[in-house]
Amino acid sequence: MTTSVARFDRWIRNEFVEYNTALEEAYFAERREVLDGRPELDEPKRAIVTEGHHLIGRILDEGALPVVEREKYQLLGMVGYHLAACRRHESVAPGAEELSAAWSLASLLGSSLGVAPRFVFAHQAMYNPASGGQFQTFTSLEDEAVFLTNNGLAVFAYQRAAEAIRRVVPIGVSSPLSAYLLETARAALEDVLQFNRTLSKTLDVERFFFNVRPYFKTYRVGNAEYRGANAGDFSAINELDVLLGLATTRDPFYQNVVVEKYPYVTPEDQVRLRAIGGEQSLLTRFLREAESSPDPQLVRNAELFLAVCRAHGAAYTYHHHKLVLPFLVEPAKTAPPERLSELTASGPPLAVVVSGLSYLADLRSARDRPGKPSARKDLDRLRELVSRGTGDGHPASLTATAE
Ligand code: HEM
């Protein structure tokens, strides 16, 4: 780390956190998203803008940008925290020159890495370097740490599941080794559900709504506006959807979900997103083998596969009913009308985003909806073939239920 980057890093971990936290406490006391026209709050708002501008300017002046890709990505995240905080406190007029250094550094780093020049969820979870047990945050509020920790853990668990499912492809669905991989994926998806449960039980709805969520908004870099950070910006969940056979990139809605997130994921996840759809799904492979030669190992693996699909559906249905609805949709009902347009990370009105998420929840839990794609019929067929193989005429239902 060069001297100027180290100085910026120290500032992000100390003064930046103090300014944001003081502002958040003032907003929270009045249950307002932001407060204007309060002279005592102008000082920390201005300090975030000017001190950040100065420190970023020093990095540009030093002219020694990181060479290692990971360090470039981490620096892009730090510049992004500064820009996101300026946006969140609404402390810079649109078009003001005060962000020019940050825009310039973010653009340099973003174009060199081939990603959107803004901070994304991966900067906060997978690329957030802890020092003395403390990772980078906007505030020192407990709820921000709870949110980041459980989101990060859920993403790691999704990645563990996707890694296991990916490994089934070259060895085949009837391999005795696949049983271990399917079992790993099921356990990992149950961990996702567990982390989501912990999040739902420990995160305070109002703290999330007033003090955590506003840092994830859309912001500008130069002349372009980049949509907000989204905990779903990682490839593993989509790899799972398509490899399991619950979704397909031939579905225009789903294809758009995958393509849209491309600039907002890490460079290594971009490679994985590009590869999605290149392999036949496990569901198709299971059906083919089960129809022709349902040997005991295949039957055992198919039962495990069905359990993986159930766990995937359950984790995402929980996300919808116990995170999206209570933490965003419910509190949004009391938000002032002029704030409603800024509630989602991706930009469209909340109702549109929620309807899209509900569509995804249906795909992942293989729920039948008239006129919409669903893996339900194929899963039922596989379940039937499996139950014939085991002599059990009453297989477990595949419909995922949220708590
Ligand atoms: C309080 C907690 C959470 C809330 C309120 C929430 C809300 C949302 C919202 C509103 C979106 C749509 C974003 C947009 O397009 O504007 C979204 C997307 C997504 N979230 Fe969450 N989320 C939360 C936690 C999590 C966690 C812990 C995970 C687990 C990794 C997660 C995974 C996803 C995924 C994967 C998507 C993208 C859609 C997809 O590809 O399926 N979220 N979330």
27-48 pLDDT, tens per residue? 999 999 999 989 999 999 999 9
In angstroms, the CA 83 to CA 100 distance is 10
Probe residue for ligand 1, chosen from 144, 190, 204, 230 as the CB with the greatest number of ligand atoms within 8 Å: 230
For position 248, what pLDDT does the model report? 96
| Cα angle for residues 311, 288, 365 (degrees, 5° grid) | 20
CA 48 to ligand 1 centroid distance, Å: 28
Residues of the chain with pLDDT > 70: what percent?
94
CB 19 within 8 A of CB 48: yes
Q: Return the CATH fold of 3-116.
A: Methane Monooxygenase Hydroxylase; Chain G, domain 1 (1.20.58)
| Cα angle for residues 305, 311, 314 (degrees, 5° grid) | 145
**DSSP 3-state assignment of 205?**
helix
For position 398, what pLDDT does the model report? 39
CA distances from 318 to 165, 343, 357, 363 (A): 22, 21, 12, 14
- CATH 1.20.58.600 segments of the chain: 3-116
CA 27 to ligand 1 centroid distance, Å: 25
In angstroms, the CA 296 to CA 300 distance is 6
CA 210 to ligand 1 centroid distance, Å: 17
| Cα angle for residues 363, 365, 369 (degrees, 5° grid) | 55
Residue nearest to atom 25 of ligand 1 (CA): 231
Residues 71-110 have pLDDT tens digits of 999 999 999 999 999 999 999 876 678 899 999 999 999 9
| Nearest of 269, 266, 277, 272 to residue 241 by alpha carbon | 277
For position 399, what pLDDT does the model report? 40
| DSSP3 helix / strand / coil % (the chain, rounded to 5) | 70, 0, 30
Backbone angles phi, psi at 36, to 5 degrees: -115, 160
Atom of ligand 1 lying closest to residue 208 CA: 1
CA 171 to ligand 1 centroid distance, Å: 32
CA distances from 398 to 75, 161, 185, 307 (A): 44, 19, 17, 8
Residue nearest to atom 20 of ligand 1 (CA): 232
CA 151 to ligand 1 centroid distance, Å: 9
For domain 143-224+231-390, give the CATH number.
1.20.58.480
* AA identity, residue 59: I
Residue nearest to atom 18 of ligand 1 (CA): 232
For position 114, what pLDDT does the model report? 97
Residues of the chain with pLDDT under 50: 393-403
For position 327, what pLDDT does the model report? 96
CB 303 within 8 A of CB 387: no
Measure CA 174 to chain center.
33
**Ligand 1 residue neighbourhood (C-beta within 6 Å):** 150-151, 154-155, 158, 196, 199, 203, 208, 230-232, 237, 257, 319, 323-324, 327-328, 344-346, 353, 357, 360
